[in-house]
Structure 1
Amino acid sequence: MKKYVFIFSLLCCFIINSTAQNKLSDKATVSVVTCGPGSELFTAFGHSAFRVYDPLIGFDKIYNYGTFDFNAPNFYLNFAKGKLTYFLSTTRFNYFLQVYRYENRWVKTQELNLTPNEVQAVFNFLEQNAKPENRDYQYDFFYDNCSTKIEEVLTTVLKDKIVFSNQHITTQKSHRDLIADYTKANYKWGKFGIDLALGSVIDDKATKDDYKFLPDYIFQAFNNASIQKNDHQEPLVKKTTTILNENNSKKETLFFQPLIVFILLSIGILFITFKNYKNQSRTKYLDFLLFFSTGIIGIVVLLLWFATSHTATYKNLNFLWAFAPNSIIAFYFLKSKIPTWLQFYILFLLLLLLGMGITWILKIQIFNSALLPFILALAVRYSYLSYRLN
């Protein structure tokens, strides 16, 4: 009997202790943490998180929705298929800061204008959400990421007490434009890859709420938001603090930018085509490489479109120049004498390039500008091949 009384007493102490640990003081605060871009592409857009700070009980924790596990089963396959699972992780604020100090990235906090009861409610939600059985979510770069989770959590807990006006957004940009704002200067190859992989769906105009997939816009949204206090509205942000100062991002070297590489490649194609025209010959290995490489790229584009769950890779019109059947047709060009029916195929490719130009001019899909010299060189080469076959 004494054994059961002892176990019951221990259990009661554990429950009381756990309850005490989850009770914040009246001095506790909730802040939105916004971090600047880093030197790598995956850090180019910055980061958002929550901070819960209670100076009286020595509690200072970060709640980070931008966490994923490289060691998770089938990580790379799930990443390629658009089924990557992210989760809410927690860590001490000073540990979190060490990472951003090492990466030379700025960090700002926005302390929210919440009552002690509201702070406790947000804290309880985050603690519950951070449990292993609740913490996972299906990541989406545009609609469900570390940044969009910030507003989602607060509106879930505080409901219609918070009002986001979005009046500070005066531009009308597409998702591709918003990405370019963060990549066109220092991540040119990254921007090229994004423009190649993502489809025309990201060229539609973004709504004001859509802007919030970027941490900078969540920061601005909170600065311009209000919260209901009794019978009046007050600013949602009580105080903004710069924790770490801004540092310059890493610059890419000029020579290896996509535009330079494609200009040099295009000059090579045009030079060989001119020599072929003068000698009435054909460099079959050039034709094989052009057809095979554009075909392989086209296969990847179509797989991203049809075989994955990525919402941003739909309707990718890069297939107009990277035509998947080219990967098979390429082997015909290794022969000294090629079938005459390929003339009609090449004319079809020229029509596709024309279609690409029209969709680009009409802004149905915006292609990476580095492609322009290469597309012109492809058109010249295809025209020469059609001439040879004719």
Structure 2
Amino acid sequence: MMQKILLFFISLFLLSISQAQEIQLSENAEISVLTVGPGPSLNDAFGHNAFRIKDPKNGIDVTYGYGEYDFDAPNFYLKFAQGKLNYLISKADFNRFYQVYRYYNRSIKEQTLNLSEAEKQKLYDYLVNNYKPENRAYLYDFFFDNCATKIKDVARVTLNNNIQFNLPKDYKEATFRTMIQKNLNRNSWGSLGIDVALGSVIDKQATAEDHMFLPKNIYAFFENATIKNGEEPLVKNSQIIYTKREVPVTNSFFTSPLFILGLVGLFIMYITYKDYKNTTQSKWLDVTLFSLTGIIGIFILLLWFATDHKGTHQNYNLLWAFALNILAIGQLFKKKVSGWFIKYIKLLVILLCLLTLHWIIGVQVFAIGLIPLLIALGIRYLFLVKHYSTDQ
């Protein structure tokens, strides 16, 4: 008897959950797209997007967004590094969503979508179904499957691919790298890390739709989009929910890559000048340079060939961070180097020249903070060629 009662209550509970998931939105329900402005850290620098479903009659005011980390995933950090980590769709009460971003002083804009009752229901049902445990995870891609592109894709599904995205008034053609760097300080460590880790594939011209990988561009394109064969706007109303407070910017040039690496470059050139004047070689410096450039080169190769990150392919930072430098370190400890090692150093000089050419013709844009280091490396390699050639 107790088992039957328990079974009854379990069935009742499951039925209530099922009904809760199949809520019929009222005629007064509204669905909007929220655009959150950038934050101070690198992972917040590009903003965020989410859907807001508001239906006072049903007591609903929730947000759905894409891009939540699944910290419970096995081998989280390894999968993250390999580009194989699934991200999750998140759900939160709007008030909590608002308070969080207000606390972190990030602007919030809202665009109410011009949808019929059936389209609102379809979009809401899609999100509810997407939020189920078996559907929540998706393979994240920074450029083509992120918190912004998901908003565009879900809206298209809702409107049966009948959205026409028109170019915003201030639209300018750009590469992926240009769009990324517009959101960053070019002379920052985050910017330098991106320019070193990401390859020439992000220096190609992005299509108009590709621009929507950035949350702020979702706002711009949605603002100009039309539906029903261009007869009606996609957005019927836009408003600013929260305006970011102006705070002093504390960026210091003296802690920037250009300044720090400038000092490193000057130090390398100073040691090289002393070695040249005294006809000596500071082997500790060469071992350090060959080790660091070799390790960075191996890291770049791993990002290119051992991960699923699309943006790390065809990375010509390998022209200065040459992975084979690790294998050549042994020559630096010899009293007399092999003949091939002199040719190898000449190759390193040629590679730096090729890097400069790639930069000039636009094959790949490199970090400006690297300029002093690259100049210093070129001078050091030329010195080593002369030094070792004299000893032969």
TM-score by length of 1: 0.93
Aligned-pair distance for 1:190?
A: 0.6
The 2-side partners of 1:232 and 1:368 are apart by 42
> Structure 2: 5+ residue runs without aligned partners?
none
SS of the aligned residue for 1:61 comes to strand
Most deviating of 107-116 and 175-184: 107-116
* Preserved CA contact (<8 Å) 1:305 1:313: yes
The answer as to 2:362 corresponding to 1:363 is: yes
Counterpart-to-counterpart distance in 2, 1:267 and 1:248: 37
Task: Note if contact 1:35-1:108 (Cα within 8 Å) is conserved in structure 2.
Answer: yes
Deviations 1:162-194 (A, max 9, x none): 221235463111000000000126x71111000
Partner Cα separation in structure 1 for residue 163 and residue 318 of structure 2: 45
Question: Could you tell me how far 1:11 is from its partner in structure 2?
Answer: 4.8
Instruction: Give the CA deviation at 1:89.
Output: 1.4
Give the unaligned 5+ runs of structure 1: none
Equivalent position amino acid for 1:59 in 2: I
Give 1:123 shift. 0.5
2:236 maps to 238
Counterpart residue type for residue 288 of structure 1: V
Any conservation in 2 of the 1:289–1:330 contact (CA below 8 Å)?
no
2:25 maps to a residue whose letter is: L
Count of aligned positions: 387
2:111 counterpart of 1:113: no
1:33–1:109 Cα contact (<8 Å) kept: yes
Distance 1:364 1:10, change over 3 A: closer
On the 8 A contact 2:35/2:49 being kept in 1, the answer is yes
Question: Which residue does 1:97 correspond to in 2?
Answer: 98
Is the 1:163–1:226 Cα contact (8 Å) retained in structure 2? yes
Q: Which residue of 2 aligns with 1:211?
A: 211
Alignment of structure 1 residues 43-82 onto 2, 5 Å: 43-82=44-83
Cα 1:116–1:263 shift into 2, 3 Å: same
Does structure 2 conserve the Cα–Cα contact (< 8 Å) formed by 1:292 and 1:328? no
Check the 8 A contact 2:54/2:61 in 1, yes or no. Answer: yes
Contact 2:269 2:376 in 1 (8 A): yes
Whether 1:253 aligns to 2:257 is no
**1:25 shift after superposition:** 1.1
Which residue is 1:274 aligned to? 273
Letter in 1 for 2:66: Y
Partner of 2:192: 192
* Structure 1 Cα separation of the partners of residues 359 and 142 of structure 2: 24
- Which is further off, 138-147 or 104-113? 104-113
Structure 1 contact 166–209 (Cα < 8 Å) conserved:
no
Runs of 4 or more above 6 Å deviation: 3-10
Report what 2:25 is aligned to.
24
Q: What is the deviation of 1:242?
A: 1.4
Task: Specify the SS of the correspondent of 2:231.
Answer: strand
Q: 1:292 and 1:257 mapped to 2: Cα distance? A: 23
Alpha-carbon distance in structure 2 between the residues aligned to 1:151 and 1:30? 14
* Alpha-carbon distance change, 325 to 227 in structure 1, aligned in 2, over 3 angstroms: same
Q: Report the equivalent of 1:130.
A: 131
Aligned to 1:140: 141
Q: Structure 2 CA distance, aligned partners of 1:102 and 1:276?
A: 56
What letter matches 1:237 in structure 2? V
Deviations 1:293-348 (A, max 9, x none): 00000000111111111000000000000000111212322344433431111011
How far did residue 160 of structure 1 move? Answer: 3.5
- Identical aligned residues as a percent: 44
Q: Which secondary structure does the structure 2 equivalent of 1:86 belong to? A: strand
Does structure 2 conserve the Cα–Cα contact (< 8 Å) formed by 1:35 and 1:48? yes
C-alpha separation in 1, matches of 2:98 and 2:332? 57
Indicate if the aligned counterparts of 1:340 and 1:389 stay in contact, CA closer than 8 A: no
Secondary structure of the 1:381 match is helix
Aligned-partner SS, 1:312:
helix
Report matched runs for 1:283-322 at 5 Å.
Answer: 283-322=282-321
CA contact (8 A) 1:35 1:46 kept: yes
Larger mean CA deviation between 360-369 and 332-341 belongs to 332-341
Q: Distance in 1 between matches of 2:207 and 2:347?
A: 38
SS of residue paired to 1:52 = strand
Structure 1 residues 240 and 170, CA, compared in 2 at 3 Å: closer, same or farther? closer
Aligned to 2:271, the other structure's residue is in SS state: helix
Give secondary structure in 2 for the equivalent of 1:277: helix
Shift of 1:95: 1.1
Normalized against structure 2, the TM-score is what? Answer: 0.93
